[in-house]
Structure 1
Amino acid sequence: MNQPQLSVVVPVFNERDNVAPLVGEILAALRGRLAFEIVCVDDHSRDDSLPVLAALKAQVPELRVLHHAIRSGQSTAVRNGVKAARAPWVATLDGDGQNDPADIPKLLAARDAAAPQVKLLAGWRVERRDSGSKRRASRWANRIRARLLGDDTPDTGCGIKLFERAVFLDLPYFDHMHRYLPALVQRAGWTTLSVPVNHRQRTAGVSKYTNLGRALVGVRDLLGVSWLIARSRRTDVEER
């Protein structure tokens, strides 16, 4: 395979019925556009997601499959996928099929039209296809996050993003960091851009998060990211 220009990282946990259609949609969106690879990271699924991915790998030369020995969470799955990625730019998609791979070319076009300082393009689900309770919880969470972090990002929870691999790997790592990528990238001195994207209803499987669970974890994470931003120090470096 040629050196890829783009790596598509997909964290997967108990998504046996979603991974094959999702991989097919990624191929349809990207084949013929650029050299790419797909890195699916199975987070120690309890169903047969891993055998399904293994069977797909035999048919799809662009597909690579990583497997966690123990369940480690979505942020760890994303980070391990990015570490294994061979391209300088990475797109991420949730494994549940709610993100639309057809939006990846839109993010690539927005990147190409943006200033060089833009290192992360975040999907913005203008029309959410989740339950009413989840949409209300997300609106409140976004308002609180925006007030504390000032990241000027309307939707940090959207799984579809495009970013420079080196910039991502330079960010501080912690569990649930994937929900704060715009603020962390801005903290590092770069610019981010929100791009409206499609959002779809889940057609198979069940959500892995509850509103209460996200709220309890989110408060602690939000305070931690706020502390990181407050303690941030940056300076230009010149070699003499």
Structure 2
Amino acid sequence: MKYSVIVPVYNEQDNVKKLHQDIVTTMSGLDDDYEIIFVDDGSSDDTVTRLQELSRLSIIQLRKNFGQTAALDAGIKLAQGEYIITLDGDGQNPPSEIPKLIKTRQDGDYDVVSGWRAQRQDPLMKKFVSRGANVLRKLLIDDGIHDSGCSLKIYKKACFDQLDLYGEMHRFIPAILKLKGYTVGEVMVKHQARTSGISKYNWKRTIKGFLDMIGVWFWKKYATRPLHLFGGIGMLAILISFILFLFVVYQKIILHIDLSNSILTEITFFVFIIGIILVIFGLMSDMLSKLYFGTSKDRAYSIKKITKK
């Protein structure tokens, strides 16, 4: 199997039929084997009924609405293709753009190619929030692409051999894979206005996405060395407490200042204790990190190719 097209859907009863037809039309023109997987994320409308009327597709039904990331993960784990192609179920990602992704991946020998919606057909507020998130993403994790939120992407299936998705991580997959050494490319794609249904994005998903962004940033910089972060802050706190201690001694012994009504000694002691706690926490986190990489399928590295002669 060459390609697996994965489409997570949630309450998209009016969009799935046309979207499926467009995918079949596009993929049938590639002369390669493919499969189509729709993942219903606990829809409460007739999305599943509409999907069951179609042919040449697999349908995964989640028991409830777990979120887009979970739906993608379920589809990826079922996929048999050498390459994974993902797109939204709202019809805003035209399947006719898939050949662009394939060609860009082949030309650049990329592991991942992400679509870039240079001319987005979304409400003004959604575009504003998305651009703000892109600025933060560039500052924190800098995955080298313009539009990580675009669901139209192609991946080598091997990218997910050591990757499980959770939270709102789907938009940060290129950043996570780049962290692991995979190559990431980008190509401009068309973006269509939604014609049916309503957008599932809201302020809750924005907050969750921001928190996941911080998580990816931490994982990128300190996954294999948390002691460097917590221990470093702890040692800084201990140094500050030592300087405060010298200042207290100077005031008490040299200047003969009565410190009985001052909280400076309490602050010094408090900062010192916080520093010790952070160092201990860093040591514990370091041990947990080693335990995680030692017992899970995840690795702090990825192998591109092995050549034997």
TM-score (norm 2): 0.71
Q: Is the 8 A contact 2:42 2:63 kept in 1?
A: yes
Compare 90-99 and 174-183 and name the one that shifted more: 174-183
Q: Which has the higher contact order (CA 8 A, sep 6+)?
A: 1
Deviation per CA, 1:126-164: give whole Å up to 9, x if none. 000000111111111001101110211110000100001
Q: Classify the secondary structure of the residue corresponding to 1:103.
A: helix
Identity rate, percent: 37
Corresponding pairs, count: 230
Question: Where does residue 219 of structure 2 map in the other structure?
Answer: 228
- Tell me what 1:153 maps to: 145
Cα distance in structure 2, aligned partners of 1:84 and 1:138: 30
> Whole-Å Cα distance in 1 between the matches of residues 216 and 99 of structure 2?
30
Q: Partners in 2 of 1:105 and 1:47 — Cα distance?
A: 32
**Distance (whole Å) between structure 1 residues aligned to residue 166 and residue 37 of structure 2:** 21
Root-mean-square deviation (CA), in Å?
A: 1.8
Which of 96, 113, 122 is residue 102 of structure 1 equivalent to? 96
Structure number with greater Rg is 2
Q: What amino acid is aligned across from residue 174 of structure 2 in structure 1?
A: P
Which residue of 34, 37, 50 maps to 1:36?
34
Which has a greater percent of strand? 1
TM-score (norm 1): 0.91
Q: Which residues of 2 match residues 1-240 of structure 1 at below 5 A?
A: 4-33=1-30, 34-56=32-54, 60-61=55-56, 63-115=57-109, 118-210=110-202, 212-230=203-221, 231-232=223-224, 233-234=300-301
Find the aligned partners of 1:239 and 1:229 in 2 and give their Cα distance: 29
Unaligned stretches of 5+ residues in structure 1: none
Cα deviation for residue 234 of structure 1 reads 2.9
The runs of at least 4 consecutive aligned structure 1 residues that moved more than 4 Å come to 235-240
Task: Report the structure, 1 or 2, having the larger helix content.
Answer: 2
Give the letter aligned to residue 53 of structure 2.
A
Whether the aligned pair in 1 keeps the contact of 2:40 and 2:71 (CA below 8 Å) is yes
Contact 1:171 1:188 in 2 (8 A): no
Give the gaps of 5 or more residues in structure 2.
225-299
Return the alpha-carbon distance in structure 2 between the equivalents of residues 203 and 169 of structure 1.
36
DSSP-derived class of the 1:147 partner? helix
